[in-house]
Structures are given as structure tokens and as C-alpha cells.
Amino acid sequence: MEAANSMTVYVPTSLEIEPETDMQQDNSDMDFDRSQITVRCCLCGTITPRTAENSNNICAECMRINSDITEGITKQIILYRCRTCLRYNGPPWIHYERESPQLLTMLLKKVKGLKSVKLLDANFVYTEEHSKRIKIRITIQKEVDGGSVLQTNLIVEYVENNQQCEECQKSFTPHIWTAVVQVRQKVDHKRTFLYLEQLILKNKTHDKCIKVSEKDDGLDFYFKNKSGASSLKNFITSKIPIKFKVAKKLISHDVHTSNYNYKYTILCDIAPICRDDLCVIPKKLSNLLGGIGPLVLCYKVSQHIHIVDVMTMETQQIDSTLYYQHVFQGFMSKNQLTEFIVIDIDSPEFDPNETKAIRRENFRCVQVELKRASDLDNPDKGSNDTYLVNTHLGEVLNYNDSVLCYDLANANLGESIENGKKDVPDVVPVKKYYPRFRRKNRKRYWKLDRIPMQDETGLEEEDMEEEAKTKTKSRKKSKKSKKKSKQETDRDREFEEFLQQLEEDPELRQNINLYPDRGIMSDLESKFSMMNLEEKKKEIADANKLIKKKKIVKAKRKTEKGKELHKEAQINKAKVKMYMKAIKEDDESDLEEDFPVVQMTELLDNLKLEDD
């Protein structure tokens, strides 16, 4: 009895409690919470919960110290970038925007050791661009000994080193190109090349071009293979009328393998007919086109040459094949235009373009009475002659409007025109002119992108030869500077004329990418903010009136999305009106209201250009 009372009952601790079987769990009256089982860490003695993954009885802190899951992962990587084209070596050499998802994908591929861990997250850490450092923070997860899973963050640093890519090496090394496209036009201006440059930029057909050089009479595009040159030639053929010729020159030849290395030259000769040119077509071509001409006006140049008869107002199209079978030149160009004023307008009984040009070009044949603007400015010295002529500009002309015309009454006409069957008009109207808006050089809140070109007009080579022959270097340097200054002045003048042509022609702007000029727009907005409150209310009221002017019939046809787009367009028009009011000076309230201003919807906000 005493022995039975002296026995000690051993109560097992929580560490020695064995997990119950399924049968014991069914028979037990109470449930046991396993999450409450704790053990002491075998290294530091900290109480830590015991789980099936933590079979080694080690706390999380000791496990993190003793187990480095970032071992084998590169922490610092050298990233090569071309200084000229700003492309990264993936490979291949590709342009990435800074902190873009595409750049992050390329950087993660360069990290070695990620295959042994599980990548959970990756993002950029902000660094200054001039520091030549790119940092990304990655979150990784890995299973260690005993089945435990560790998770940690890691910073990977990329050091940007400059390295020239292969294409830039070829562009700076002479005689490495394989094919060249030479674009030429025999005219005394370069407006066609400015328009062609914008078409190439919009369609990105110059991506494979290693160099673009500017010549006296055109442009040269260099490529490392023939396929890139052929694609550019096909693109130019689809946009403007040209005649091309392909030539090749043998560079080297391997007798054993029969390998030939050629250099290809593709000459693209653009038709020397430009917009607003007055032309005299040959008699055979006139008969093929139904007796049109011989005096015609070129009002548009696309894949075809669009002409209109200055007497009958009939329109025709001439493709490149037909043109080069019957070649003709421009009789008078844009530099010979004279300003006239519309005195009277009268609609004729018959319009020959009723079924063609009205639906295609918005032409309307009218009879106008014109007088020179110089005669109106100086009535005492000028003449009182007026001219009654037909024109195709009936949709845009109004009383007292200015029109640029060819003054044939004071021009030296050829025998082919004077001896023609049809009478020659004294004045040929070409297009409407906005003199009050062009009175001053106004700020434009939009700008164009340009292709970087190398100037190879031949002036430097000529001057170097002259300096070698003579000892008067100072005189030659002054002569060289004069040539360069004159050349830059001509380029600026032609580019300004091209910008004016874009402003006056909304149809021409559809084929070109326009970008907002942030500096000018911020200045105009600040200037508009200085206006009186009454003036702002008036502008807002005008915008609301434009929105409420919608017809009921059209509103029924429109969907909800269409109504929103229409409302947004009217708001953009009001914003443009505010900008134009900020551009106007205090004493310039009589500007042309029908000037085709560049709308805000035509600007590409998502494609920003760097400020010059």
C-alpha cells in the first residue's frame, strides 16, 4: 500500500506528446491545437513554433543567418550601351526606354543563379540617369535543408559601360556599307525632301539605315544589306512618282568558293513636278488625257501627279509610268506667285468637276474678279486693271480674300502656249493666302521630328583644296564661313516655308506626325492665365454654344461614345482658340478667322520629343 502511494506519476511534456492516430482522435472528447506546440531553438534558445517544415528546431533568425539563399546570384553586372544610338546590348542591340518593362525583362535575363530560386517580384530602384547605374530589387524564395522555405529581397546593380554597336561602327568606318539609295530631284528647292523625310519618320523605314547624308541635290541612305535599301525604294515608289535604276559594283571575288561581294546603288529620280507648279503638257499626253491643257496646274503630288486645267477646270491624274513616257517640266514655280485680291465672285452655269473633284478634292468652279494687291496699296502709281478668270477654289474663296496667282499677263510665255488652241488666261489662281496671319513670325505650339544627317554638300572638300593651293588661309576661311551661312539661311527659309504649307493644308498634315512643343505651350497657357475673367467667360461661353449647336437628327444617329468624342473635339477647338488668342497681339484683332489652325487632336501626346 505504501509502495503504491510512493510512485510518481510521469507527466510527459508538450515536446514528448506524440501525435494521435485517427482512431484516437475519434475517441477523444477534446480537440488538440497543434499550432501551440513550441520548442527552443537549438542554437540560440529562442522559443519558436514547431512545424512540419521546421524539423531541425531552428528559429527563423538563425536559419536566415546560417543559410544564404542569395549565394550564387550575381549582385553586380556590367551592361553595355552604345553612346551614339543609345541602344543596350541584349544581345542583340535594342533600344529600351528607361525603367520600362522590356528593359526589366532584359536585365533579369542577365542575372545568373535565378534558376535555383523562385522569383516572386522585381522592380526598379530609382537612380539618376547620369550616374550610369541601374538598380533593381528582386524578391526570391528558396527551400533549405529540413523543408523550410526562406524569402528575402536582393538588390542587383548594373553598371553602364560605353561600347559602340556594330551598326555605329560601320557608320563611322568608311567603305563598309553594302547598298545605298540615292534620292534626287532636279529642282531649285528641297521641299519635296522635307516632306519625304516626315513620311519616312512616320513609317519608320529608316530603322535599318546606318547613315543618312545630305547632298546638294538630294539625300543618300546607306544600308548594310540590299534588302533594307530595296524596302526604302519600294516605300518611296508608293508615295511619290519616281524612276529608279539599280547598279552594282564588284568589290571582291573568292575563286575557291565562288563568292562575290558587290556594292549596290539604287538611284531614285523624283519627277521634277511639285505642288502649285504651272506646267505645259505635251500634245500627245494632252490627247491621251481627253484634250486637257496644254496649260495645267499641279494641285497635288502623291503616287500620281494631280493636275487641273486652268481654263476648263477639268482634273486628271498622271502616274509615274505615263509621266516618264511624256516628260514635261514646270513652266512657273512657287517663287513666281503674286498676291491678288478677290473683288467679285460669280458661279458659272456648268461645273466640269461636278462628279469628280467635288467629291474628291472639294473643288467648285467659280468666276472671280481679281486685282493686284500692290495696285490697291498704291492706287496712284498702280493700274486699275482687273482680271475676270475661272478658278477651282470656289469652296474656300470669299470677298476681299487674298489669293496667290501666276501673273501671265506680265510673263514671257512660250510659243507652245501662245500658239495653242485655247486662250491663255491673264491670271491663274493657285491657292488662298493669309497675309495678316503671316505678318509676323508667330510661335507654334507644335514641332516636327528630324532625321540626323551628315552634311556632305561638297563645300568642305572644295575649300580644303583651295587652301592647299593658296597660302591665304584667312581669306579662304572667311569665304567658307560665308558659304556655310548662306547655306544655313536657305535651309531655314525652306523649312519655314514647309511649316507654313503644313499649317495651311490640313490634308497634308494627315500624313505627318506632329508633336507638341511643351515650352511654347506652357508660355501660352501662362499668358492666357493673365487674361481678364470676362474674356475667359466669353471663351467658355463660345465653346458651350458650339457644343449645343448639334442638330437633333444627327444626335439621334450618334452613339454615346460618338457624342463624347464630338464634345471632346469641340473642347479642343475652344482650347486652340484660346492658344490663338494668346498668340495674337493687342493690335491684331482682324486676323483671318478661316485660317486652318493645327488642332490639339492632331498632336501626338504619347510620343514626346526631347527639347532642343
Rounded to two decimals, the pTM is 0.65
Single residue among 421, 439, 457 that ends a domain in this structure: 439
Are residues 339 and 266 part of one domain?
A: no
Contacts of 194 (CB under 8 A, 6+ apart): 494, 495, 498
Are residues 254 and 391 part of one domain?
A: no
Phi, psi of 353 (to 5 degrees): -100, 25
Beta bridge partner(s), residue 264:
179, 248
Distances (CA, A) of 113 to 71, 72, 78, 407: 8, 5, 16, 79
Residue 485 inside a domain? The answer is: no
Mapped to the 3 state alphabet, what secondary structure does 98-146 carry?
CCCHHHHHHHHHCCCCHHHCEEEEEEEECCCHHHCEEEEEEEEEEECHH
576: pLDDT strictly greater than 50: yes
The number of distinct structural domains making up the chain is 3
Are residues 251 and 361 part of one domain?
A: no
Q: Can you read off the three cell numbers belonging to residue 416?
A: 507652245
> How many residues comprise the chain?
612
Residue 258 inside a domain? The answer is: yes
Summarize pLDDT for 328-386 with one digit per residue, the tens.
Answer: 988 888 888 999 999 988 876 555 555 455 556 668 888 899 988 888 877 666 677 88
**Contact present, 448 and 197 (Cβ < 8 Å):** no
Residue 102 inside a domain? The answer is: yes
125: pLDDT strictly greater than 50: yes
**Contact present, 118 and 141 (Cβ < 8 Å):** yes
11: pLDDT strictly greater than 60: no
233: pLDDT strictly greater than 70: yes
Distances (CA, A) of 185 to 77, 190, 209, 319, 386: 51, 8, 21, 17, 37
Residue with cell 579662304: 476
535: pLDDT strictly greater than 50: yes
Instruction: Give the pLDDT confidence score for residue 16 in this predicted structure.
Output: 43
Residue 132 inside a domain? The answer is: yes
Single residue among 270, 305, 322 that ends a domain in this structure: 270
Are residues 430 and 286 part of one domain?
A: yes
Average pLDDT, the chain: 77
280: pLDDT strictly greater than 70: yes
**Contact present, 298 and 276 (Cβ < 8 Å):** yes
Are residues 229 and 213 part of one domain?
A: yes
Residue 45 inside a domain? The answer is: no
Rounded to an integer, what distance in angstroms lies between the CA atom of residue 62 and that of residue 71? 17
Are residues 295 and 415 part of one domain?
A: yes
Residue 148 inside a domain? The answer is: yes
Contacts of 97 (CB under 8 A, 6+ apart): 103
Q: Is 446 exposed, middle or buried (0-12, 13-18, 19+ CB in 10 A)?
A: buried
Instruction: Give the pLDDT confidence score for residue 545 in this predicted structure.
Output: 54
Residue 178 inside a domain? The answer is: yes
Are residues 420 and 282 part of one domain?
A: yes
Give the structural domain span for 106.
67-157
Are residues 223 and 196 part of one domain?
A: yes
Are residues 349 and 332 part of one domain?
A: yes
Instruction: Give the pLDDT confidence score for residue 68 in this predicted structure.
Output: 83
Are residues 384 and 366 part of one domain?
A: yes
**Contact present, 576 and 600 (Cβ < 8 Å):** yes
What share of the chain has pLDDT > 90, as a percent? 26
Are residues 133 and 86 part of one domain?
A: yes
Residue 78 inside a domain? The answer is: yes
415: pLDDT strictly greater than 80: no
**Contact present, 130 and 156 (Cβ < 8 Å):** no
Single residue among 270, 289, 313 that ends a domain in this structure: 270
Are residues 337 and 244 part of one domain?
A: no
The pLDDT-based confidence of 544 (bands split at 50, 70, 90) is low
Per-residue pLDDT, averaged over 466-492, amounts to 62
